[in-house]
Amino acid sequence: MTETDDNNANAPLIDIIIPVYNGERFVCEAIDSACKQTHQNIRIIVVNDGSTDGSREKILALTGQLPNLVFVDRPHCGVSATLNTALEHTEADWLAFLDCDDLWATNKLQVQLAVLTADQSLDICFTKLQEFDDESAFNTTYRARPEPLAGINKTSMLCRRSLFDRVGGFNEALQMGDFIEWFNRCKTHNVKHVVLPDVLAFRRIHDNNMTNGVSAVDYLKVIRLHLNSKRQVSGND
């Protein structure tokens, strides 16, 4: 697929979901990263989860400039509920997710879409993911790992919208680990995925990552769900 072919009016529509909670420092950069994709037939669905900083105002300032930006404002209910709200506003057959503090390589969606359309048995395409330190990361105990990661992550994923009809949405009982739990459910439904060797997604490490400050109870919930999922998969073998 050439860039010209990818950008014509017949190119498949991709909905990009960006959940935001107190992301005023980075959200405009994330939206810009989505806008710069070589695959240009996109809608950008930004859901503000009751931010208490200036996120809402920064997003609203972009709505007049970007006709393909869909802004949804909701009371604070957590990341899983925010993602499910975004799913209710999707129209495309293809979905991508970009956390409001992360970034993509410009050709990410184009490369992934080519892989998924060439193999109809695949439901999900991941790429490798590279962490990078924001200047505020120097105040945290966790620092970016130098080696690329396998990329089983929302930010590195492109998937078929129909997958959510089969597997369901994100578990709103969880305050973290929403994607881990959802992907484990995918495994119980024999969903096929591929991880590309290309590093096309970039995860920012900073002093306000959404996993900071999460309770041990939430970690235990995710671990318990993960173990239950593994037992179900083993039982289906």
- pLDDT at position 228 is 56
Q: Which pLDDT band holds residue 210 (cuts at 50, 70, 90)?
A: very low
Decide if pLDDT at 172 tops 60: yes
Q: Is 130 helix (H, G, I), strand (E, B) or coil?
A: strand
Burial state string for 78-117 with b = 16 or more CB within 10 A and e = fewer than 16:
bbbbbbbbbbeebebebbbbbbbbbbbbebbbbbbbeebe
Q: Which pLDDT band holds residue 10 (cuts at 50, 70, 90)?
A: confident
Query: Which CATH number is 3-172+185-214 given?
Result: 3.90.550.10
Residue found under tokens 């499910």: 84
Burial state string for 206-217 with b = 16 or more CB within 10 A and e = fewer than 16:
bebbbeeeeeee
pTM attached to this predicted model: 0.85
Q: Which pLDDT band holds residue 148 (cuts at 50, 70, 90)?
A: confident
Q: Is 185:228 a contact under the CB 8 Å cutoff?
A: no
- pLDDT at position 9 is 67
Mean pLDDT calculated for residue range 190-210: 88
Please say whether the dihedral angle defined by the alpha carbons of residues 109, 112, 114 and 116, taken in this order, is positive or negative: negative
Strand pairing category for 157-160 and 124-133: antiparallel
Mean pLDDT calculated for residue range 15-26: 97
Q: Which amino acid, 103?
A: L
Decide if pLDDT at 113 tops 50: yes
Q: Which pLDDT band holds residue 118 (cuts at 50, 70, 90)?
A: very high
